[in-house]
Structure 1
Amino acid sequence: MASQNNLGPKRLVVGAHYGLRDWLAQRVSAVVMAIYTLILLVWFFAAQAFSYDGWASIFAAQWMKAATFVALLALFYHAWVGLRDIWMDYVKPLSVRLTLQVLTIVWLLVCAGYAVQILWRV
């Protein structure tokens, strides 16, 4: 009888098995965004001119554009993991959940494309 209770090391494990990966992705993307925020704050408060030209000069350097792009990718991935988890936890009808997930992906890709367009226009 004890072998049929599905407890212990021989229990049946089900599920998607990506909880640790998503947890780690959320933390790493949050750290990337925090570091970028600190860099931006230091750069902003060290700037002399608080004008459009001063703000544009921050993003004129190629490394700052790359850092901003990495921070935006971290933001979009962070948002994807969080929204996907919300849809999976609270939206039970499969068709509605998949529709919301697809709309979320499309929205995040449009945001990423728009961010690239703005970033490399400066």
Structure 2
Amino acid sequence: MVKDINRVITGAHYGLRDWLIQRITAVLMAVYVLLWVILTTFLQISDYAALKSLFTNQWMRIASFLFFISLCWHAWVGVRNVLMDYIHTASIRLTIHITVIISLFFYLIWFAEILWGK
């Protein structure tokens, strides 16, 4: 005897990917923070001029940009999962998703402008 079960699956098959993204981005951010602490301690950065000279190095700009990409991606996965769990009205959830995506993209562009702008 076969039972007819109507199962509604929403948001399936990406839990492992989200978990892995959260862990990888967290490790990248932790490595950057550790690098930042070591550099500021070793170089004894105490004023704006010393901090600005640290960011004249292209590798520091790239590392900082990778940190910020990781931060935005980490935030997106976390916020998206919380919204999917607690906002059940699709139109409201979609509106908040779009707002968060646009905001994070804007912040990423702004950070790039800060790093490489004149």
Q: TM-score, normalised by structure 2?
A: 0.90
Shifted more, 12-21 versus 54-63: the winner is 12-21
Post-superposition shift, 1:49?
4.3
> Counterparts of 2:9 and 2:117 in 1: how far apart (Å)?
48
Q: Secondary structure at the match of 1:60?
A: coil
Structure 2 residue corresponding to 1:72, chosen from 63, 68, 71: 68
Higher relative contact order (CA 8 A, sep 6+): 2
* Residue 54 (str. 1) matches residue 50 (str. 2): yes
Post-superposition shift, 1:71?
0.6
Question: 2:97 — aligned with what?
Answer: 101
Post-superposition shift, 1:13?
9.0
Question: 1:39 — aligned with what?
Answer: 35
Structure 2 residue corresponding to 1:84, chosen from 80, 85, 110: 80
Identity of aligned residues (%): 41
* Residue 114 (str. 1) matches residue 101 (str. 2): no
CA change 1:71–1:91 in 2 (3 A) is: same
The gaps in structure 1 that reach 5 residues or longer are 7-11
Post-superposition shift, 1:91?
0.4
Post-superposition shift, 1:5?
8.8
> Counterparts of 1:114 and 1:69 in 2: how far apart (Å)?
11
CA change 1:83–1:36 in 2 (3 A) is: same
Post-superposition shift, 1:39?
0.5
Q: TM-score, normalised by structure 1?
A: 0.87
Post-superposition shift, 1:119?
1.0
The gaps in structure 2 that reach 5 residues or longer are none
What count of residue pairs does the alignment treat as equivalent?
116
